[in-house]
């Protein structure tokens, strides 16, 4: 593809939901779980994201072993007024064993009202902000009480600490349960050309039904899409993606992102990279419109057989 001086477009997650960038910056690997960026490096990366029109940043309390939000907050605070230019997303519900949480004896889930409210307040302090644009329950718990979660959401919204709420990794039934108690604006799920389950299990159908845009983590299939040797399925899919990339004169990752962007539920990719060139390519992928036949070629290569 010729050089495109593109910026990420804007999208509203739902009728009453927040306005976000169509490409989201995932912060999970910015700190100790990944590149270990310094405050200055994070500050520069935030600036580069904004220059690309990427204004939405995806966090979770557990990232970096409960350290990433505070690191990002320090970087964000270096420029006055920057908070108004971005949208902050965070999550809670997973309790990890960590040196920063010595009371956690095992990995577990906690979706109690007390934990949700305490987690939000901790995220606000660490991110050095008064509010979150979007807050998600990170994973559903077998002990999840929908009424209790809804009560916590209501209290946080009334207090102005969170503007909008959603979930992550919820099945359609779990989403429907909580959405019945409190209006949700998104479900952040694993979906890619390598992970097709949401196309089949009703997750993306439900998103269209409620006119919400799902967020996609690992939208290009993660490192194994490019590093795992000896896997027949990945080799077959890579070969097809390379062929299509050549036809459209774009990069492989752009084809994989275009595969998601083509879907009518208006999937929002969360890019978990610190590389500016990959973020730029992701923004430019919005310009790549796959034909219906190209889309199904990717599907067929992933599944290993033609559609019924």
3-state secondary structure the chain: CCCCCCCCCEEECCCCCCEEECCEEECCCCCCCCCCCCHHHHHHHHHHHHHCCCCEEECCCCHHHHCHHHHHHHHHCCCCCHHHHCEEEEEECEECCECCECCCCCCEECCCHHHHHHHHHHHHHHHCCCCECEEEECCCCCCCCHHHHHHHHHHHHHCCCECCEEEECCCHHHHHHHHHHCCCCCEEEECCCCCCHHHHCCHHHHHHHHCCCCEEECCCCCCHHHHCCCCHHHHHHHHHHHHHHHHHCCCHHHHHHHHHHCCCCCCEEEECCCCHHHHHHHHHHHHCCCCHHHHHHHHHHHHCCCCC
**Half-sphere exposure at residue 263, Cβ-oriented, CA atoms within 13 angstroms:** 28
Cα–Cα nearest to 234, from 194, 200, 199: 194
Least confident stretch, 31-40, 158-167, 248-257? 31-40
- Tell me the whole-structure pTM to 2 decimals: 0.95
* CA–CA separation, 273 and 85 (whole Å): 21
Percent of the chain whose predicted confidence (pLDDT) is above 70: 98
Cα–Cα nearest to 141, from 162, 113, 165, 112: 112
Q: What is the pLDDT of residue 68?
A: 95
Distance of CA 126 to the CA centre of its chain: 20
Question: pLDDT of 277-303, one tens digit each?
Answer: 999 999 999 999 999 999 999 999 999
Q: Are strands 94-95 and 24-26 parallel, antiparallel or unpaired?
A: unpaired
Cα torsion angle, 295, 297, 302, 304, sign: positive
Percent of the chain whose predicted confidence (pLDDT) is above 90: 89
Q: Which two tokens stand for residue 200?
A: 């089949």
Position with higher pLDDT, 60 vs 224 = 60
Question: pLDDT of 66-106, one tens digit each?
Answer: 999 999 999 999 888 889 999 999 999 999 988 889 888 89
Q: Are strands 87-92 and 56-58 parallel, antiparallel or unpaired?
A: parallel
Calculate mean pLDDT across residues 239-249: 98
Cα–Cα nearest to 166, from 144, 183, 149, 152: 183
* Contact yes or no for 240/297 (Cβ under 8 A): yes
Q: Which two tokens stand for residue 95?
A: 């309790």
Distance of CA 296 to the CA centre of its chain: 24
Q: Which two tokens stand for residue 298?
A: 């990717």
| Number of CB atoms found within 10 A of residue 125's CB | 12
Calculate mean pLDDT across residues 171-190: 99
Question: pLDDT of 192-218, one tens digit each?
Answer: 999 999 999 999 999 999 999 999 999
Strand partners, 39: none
Instruction: For the chain, list the domains and their CATH numbers.
Output: 10-185 (3.20.20.100)
Average predicted confidence (pLDDT) for the chain: 95
Q: How confident is the model at residue 228 (pLDDT cuts 50, 70, 90)?
A: low
Q: What is the pLDDT of residue 4?
A: 45
Residue 2 has pLDDT above 70, yes or no: no
* Residues annotated as catalytic (active site), given as ranges: 63
Residue 1 has pLDDT above 70, yes or no: no
């Amino acid at each position: 593809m010729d050089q495109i001086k593109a910026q990420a477009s804007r999208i509203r997650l739902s009728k009453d939901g927040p306005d976000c960038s169509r490409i989201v910056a995932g912060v999970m690997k910015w700190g100790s779980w990944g590149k270990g960026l310094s405050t200055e490096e994070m500050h520069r990366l935030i600036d580069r994201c904004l220059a690309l029109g990427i204004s939405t940043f995806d966090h979770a309390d557990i990232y970096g072993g409960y350290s990433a939000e505070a690191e990002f907050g320090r970087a964000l605070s270096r420029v006055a007024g920057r908070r108004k230019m971005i949208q902050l997303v965070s999550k809670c519900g997973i309790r990890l064993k960590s040196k920063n949480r010595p009371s956690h004896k095992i990995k577990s889930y906690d979706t109690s009202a007390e934990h949700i409210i305490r987690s939000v307040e901790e995220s606000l302090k660490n991110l050095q902000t008064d509010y979150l644009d979007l807050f998600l329950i990170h994973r559903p718990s077998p002990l999840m009480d929908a009424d209790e979660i809804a009560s916590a959401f209501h209290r946080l919204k009334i207090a102005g600490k969170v503007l909008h709420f959603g979930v992550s990794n919820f099945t359609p039934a779990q989403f429907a349960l909580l959405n019945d108690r409190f209006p949700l604006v998104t479900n952040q799920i694993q979906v890619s050309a390598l992970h097709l389950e949401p196309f089949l299990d009703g997750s993306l159908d439900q998103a269209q039904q409620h006119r919400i845009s799902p967020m996609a983590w690992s939208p290009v299939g993660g490192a194994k899409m490019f590093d795992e040797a000896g896997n027949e399925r990945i080799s077959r899919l890579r070969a097809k993606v390379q062929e299509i990339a050549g036809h459209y004169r774009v990069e492989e990752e752009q084809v994989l992102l275009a595969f998601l962007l083509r879907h009518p539920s208006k999937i929002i990719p969360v890019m978990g990279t610190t590389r500016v060139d990959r973020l730029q390519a992701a923004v430019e992928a919005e310009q790549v419109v796959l034909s219906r036949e190209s889309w199904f070629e990717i599907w067929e290569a992933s599944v290993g057989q033609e559609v019924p």
